[in-house]
Structure 1
């Protein structure tokens, strides 16, 4: 006896709900990880005036965090999809690189504009963790939404 398992239908609302949940979970997890990495610092600059510097900055940490999360979570979102989906190569592989470059461009541009407009500012450890956690949550949610929307077969 075989059982019939209908293919789940992913509506835009369901995709958005999943993306929000993914973003919140990633914000909490990456916030906790950043507490571990930044522990012992009383204040941390958001950015400094100069491309090359020896100081650890919040936006300097945000760039590799966002790029790596974007690329990893694109693959994870694709692999965990339970609906009919496009083949990984070449479409989703290209999407993975595109999401990484998108995150890189937005983070670097945002940091440069911030530095130009606000100058060098230092923040407390909790503020730095919140900034990095919110960034991780936004990247995770947006990438999850964009990946599932682009990868599913309609």
Structure 2
């Protein structure tokens, strides 16, 4: 199976493994941080995005809505897709697209606003509220 990964000549770790178990859709700061956390925990992960600022991660340089690119990158064989863009509307759209085109994947969706969590749950996705997670993390540190 071929992968459409971007590779850095000076960082071998950017080369994609043969199998990626977790794909993060969204290459901004939160998506990259999620991918790094998964990788640190020992998971194989790749980030999908039009532009991704992470030289240390495997990257699929494609629009997260491009199902042909997602399929070519091996998303159909993944275990989990984490949808992590800055827009709750886009996150819901991407989660619905993944669920419709790639049967059987676990879809975790980041909700940037806590009032979106019920909507994501009602749509059949597994939401994580970014606002609550940050608030909890700050409270645990103080």
TM-score by length of 1: 0.25
Larger Rg: 1
Between 1 and 2, higher relative CO (CA 8 Å, sep ≥ 6) is seen in 1
Name the TM-score, length of structure 2 as normaliser: 0.26
